[in-house]
Amino acid sequence: MTYLNNDFEDLMKNRRSIREYDETVKISQEEMQAILTDAVTAPSSVNMQPWRFVVVESDAGKEKLKPLIRFNTLQNDTSAAMILIFGDLQNFENGEKIYGGAVERGLMPADIKEQQMAKLSQYFKTIPRSELERVVLIDGGIVAMQLMLVARAYGYDTNPIGGFERTEVAKAFGMDSERYEPVMIVSIGKAKTDGYDSYRLPIGDVTTFA
């Protein structure tokens, strides 16, 4: 895929959180898959890639979502899609597929893969749920940020949304709330109006060196 925008400074500094989109702009499933494919090159803890996406693009899907997103209905009504991001608390089920795939592609020696899988198997047997939740929220936040930058490179705008009914959203879209931890929602489309710039604290206010 050739990005519409490869200017890193523009992607980082000129991205805006957009609340109202051009309702006539749609994103094909093929292009959405391309955007998500680039987004999931983001790093994750021990490469377990716990993110799971539900792309809400149909009128019916948006109607189902609307009462669950509090004051974020404008994004829902006008965006091309609302991307629900979940973290899979049972992500280690894909460990063999991920590490085995790395071996098949020559990215990891087979003996290292066996050593890693043995260690991780013990780790995931003992890790408490609270730690799993913490990890998938971190990894989900990383992939969400990458998704927003990738979307801009493709020529689209986004808005990260944290205000929604978390348990109800999972159930509404068939996600087992015991397994899938809601992370956030990212709206995506073409901005109808320019978003507002925002003030950032000076780096000296938020950084210390030790």
pLDDT of 57: 98
Which class for 195: exposed (0-12), middle (13-18), buried (19 or more C-beta within 10 A)? middle
Tokens of 185: 């929602």
Contacts of residues 191-197 at CB distance under 8 Å and 24 or more positions apart, as own/partner, are 191/16, 191/18, 191/20, 191/21, 191/22, 191/157, 192/18, 192/20, 192/21, 192/22, 192/23, 192/78, 193/20, 194/16, 195/16, 195/17, 195/18, 195/19, 195/157, 196/16, 197/16
Which residues in the chain come in under a pLDDT of 70?
1-6, 8-15
Which domains are assigned to the chain? 8-89+129-191 (3.40.109.10)
In terms of Cβ atoms closer than 10 Å to its own Cβ (0-12, 13-18, 19+), residue 104 is: exposed
Whether the CB-CB separation of 183 and 85 falls below 8 Å is answered with yes
Q: 111-142 burial, b if ≥16 CB within 10 A, otherwise e?
A: eebeebbeebeeebeeeeeeebeebbbebbbb
Residue 88 structure tokens: 């899979």
Q: Is the dihedral of CA 58, 44, 155, 28 positive or negative?
A: negative
Q: Which residues pair with 21 in a beta bridge?
A: 191
Which residues have a Cβ under 8 Å from the Cβ of 201 and sit 6 or more positions away? none
pLDDT at 3: 62
